[in-house]
Amino acid sequence: MSAFDFTHAIVREPAQSVTDGLRDGDHAGPSHDAVKREHGAYVATLRELGLEVEVLPALEAYPDSIFVEDPALVFSEAAILLRPGAPTRAGEVAEIAPELETRFERVLTLGDGFVDGGDVLTTPDEVLIGLSARTDAAGAKSLIAALAQLGKQGRVVKTPPGVLHFKTGCGLIDEGTVAIAAALDDAEMFGDLKRMVLPAGEEAAANILRVRDTVLIGEGFPETREMIERHGVTTLALPISEIAKIDAGLSCMSLRWRSVAS
Ligand code: CIR
């Protein structure tokens, strides 16, 4: 069994207000219909890969609530409610809390500070927490304490300036290999993981998502796909051009876990 053998996922239907999602810059937002199409393809793919996917209802008050990865962190045995660093996203935690309470025996909460789930990379050995404009030192410290209660080890790293989330710039290809944008190429940061630097010009491909035997990747990154396939892992490209307009990628649209019963 591998760290990617998830059995369950939750996602959230995009709200009409997704068109107002947060973004770096003043470019136009996505269209709701197009986001819905990308989201639909994503959900269908998770199901085809064998996951039981539950779709939570849209939350009009929270344009970015489709990105369920940010207000919580989940493992087989427990969930941790986080605290997103963007004020407009703070209320998403109270919305997802009851959903997690019905699905997990233990739901821990963050003490002080802010952490976005997009800044958290769970590797087979540890949980990396990238300090960013959304995740602060107090939040990282609180998260390390919560992880310790679950017998897991957290470690603080840095999300490079100008990169929204740590996982905007990296993603696991397999249990021992991480794909990274050049800006994150730092041996100490990734410990024992082998680093595969993305081809120049394809940095936006970094937010890959390994699910079971397949690495999901955004469409339009042929060299990265080839690099991953050459490494021996099957890839599947999904459309992400609309969610990319609000700085999102593949990992942000779901919370995934392997149920303890399986
Ligand atoms: C935000 O700025 O919060 C959203 N527009 C994008 C969140 C993407 N989430 C992620 O990478 N985990």
Q: Give the pLDDT confidence of 95-107 residue by residue, as tens digits.
A: 999 999 999 999 9
118 lines ligand 1 (CB under 6 A): yes
Residue 262 has pLDDT above 80, yes or no: no
CA of residue 98 relative to chain centroid, distance: 20
CA of 252 to the centre of ligand 1 (A): 7
Distance CA 47, CA 149 (A): 32
Report pLDDT for 261: 82
User: Beta strands 127-131 and 154-158: pairing type?
Assistant: parallel
253 lines ligand 1 (CB under 6 A): no
Distance CA 10, CA 25 (A): 29
246 lines ligand 1 (CB under 6 A): yes
For residue 226, give every residue at least 6 positions away whose Cβ sits within 8 Å of its Cβ, in sequence order, or none: none
Residue 187 has pLDDT above 90, yes or no: no
Residue nearest to atom 2 of ligand 1 (CA): 22
Global confidence as pTM? 0.97
pLDDT digits (tens, 9 = 90+) for 211-235: 999 999 999 999 999 999 999 999 9
Are the C-beta atoms of residues 115 and 82 closer than 8 Å to each other?
yes
Residue 260 has pLDDT above 90, yes or no: no
Query: pLDDT tier at 204 (50, 70, 90 boundaries)?
Result: very high
Distance CA 212, CA 261 (A): 17
Are the C-beta atoms of residues 254 and 10 closer than 8 Å to each other?
yes
Are the C-beta atoms of residues 173 and 215 closer than 8 Å to each other?
yes
156 lines ligand 1 (CB under 6 A): no
Report pLDDT for 172: 98
Query: pLDDT tier at 206 (50, 70, 90 boundaries)?
Result: very high
Would you call 170 a catalytic residue per the annotation?
no
User: Which atom, in ligand 1's list, is nearest to the CA of 22?
Assistant: 5
14 lines ligand 1 (CB under 6 A): no
User: 3-class secondary structure for 1-61?
Assistant: CCCCCCCEEEEECCCHHHHHCCCCCCCCCCCHHHHHHHHHHHHHHHHHCCCEEEEECCCCC
69 lines ligand 1 (CB under 6 A): yes
Share the mean pLDDT of the chain: 97
CA of 262 to the centre of ligand 1 (A): 31
Average pLDDT over residues 193-202: 97
CA atoms within 13 A on the CB side of 16: 1
Query: pLDDT tier at 94 (50, 70, 90 boundaries)?
Result: very high
Distance CA 181, CA 200 (A): 9
Residue nearest to atom 12 of ligand 1 (CA): 118
Supply the DSSP symbol for 83: B
Average pLDDT over residues 149-156: 98
User: Which atom, in ligand 1's list, is nearest to the CA of 252?
Assistant: 12
CA of residue 237 relative to chain centroid, distance: 17
Residue nearest to atom 1 of ligand 1 (CA): 22
- What's phi and psi for 41, nearest 5 deg? -65, -40
Residue 116 has pLDDT above 80, yes or no: yes
% of residues, the chain, pLDDT over 70: 100
Q: Which of 8, 39, 165, 170 is catalytic?
A: 165
Query: pLDDT tier at 200 (50, 70, 90 boundaries)?
Result: very high
Query: pLDDT tier at 179 (50, 70, 90 boundaries)?
Result: very high
